[in-house]
C-alpha cells in the first residue's frame, strides 16, 4: 500500500475537491400551469408535457383532494382570463380620466 512521504496542504486538498459540489437543477415554467418543473419531464402539478396531457393527475387523487385541485385549476384559469391587454393609442385617447 502506498504511503505518502509528505503531508498534503489543506489548500491542495481543497483545490482537488473544488469540483465535488451540488449543482443547480434545471428548472423551467410549465407551459400549462406556470409552476416550476424539471426540464424535459412531466409537470408534477398538472401532468402536462409539451402542451399536452401525458398523466391524468386528478384520476390518482382521492375524492376530497380531487375537488380541491379542480378548484385550484379553475381559479388559475380565471386569473389567466382576467389579464388585461395593453391599450392602443386610440383607446387611450378616448378614455376619460
CA dihedral for 7, 9, 10, 14, sign (positive or negative): negative
**SS3 (DSSP) at 53:** strand
In the numeric block, which cell numbers belong to residue 75?
A: 381559479
Q: In total, how many domains does the chain have?
A: 1
pLDDT tens, residue by residue, 20-30 = 999 888 899 98
Of 20 and 1, which is predicted with more confidence?
20
Q: What is the CA radius of gyration of the chain?
A: 26
pLDDT > 80? residue 84:
no
pLDDT score recorded for residue 7: 92
Per the CB < 8 A criterion, the answer to whether 94 and 88 are in contact is no
Range of the domain at 71: 24-78
Judged by average pLDDT, the poorest of 30-34, 47-51, 70-74, 87-91 is 87-91
pLDDT score recorded for residue 61: 74
Per the CB < 8 A criterion, the answer to whether 50 and 40 are in contact is no
- pTM attached to this predicted model: 0.47
Amino acid at each position: 500500500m502506498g504511503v505518502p512521504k509528505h503531508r498534503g496542504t489543506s489548500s491542495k486538498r481543497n483545490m482537488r475537491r473544488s469540483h465535488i459540489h451540488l449543482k443547480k437543477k434545471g428548472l423551467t415554467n410549465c407551459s400549462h400551469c406556470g409552476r416550476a418543473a424539471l426540464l424535459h419531464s412531466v409537470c408534477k402539478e398538472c401532468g402536462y408535457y409539451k402542451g399536452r396531457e401525458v398523466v391524468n393527475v386528478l384520476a390518482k387523487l382521492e375524492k376530497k383532494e380531487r375537488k380541491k385541485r379542480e378548484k385550484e385549476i379553475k381559479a388559475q384559469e380565471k386569473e389567466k382570463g382576467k389579464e388585461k391587454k395593453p391599450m392602443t393609442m386610440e383607446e387611450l385617447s378616448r378614455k376619460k380620466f
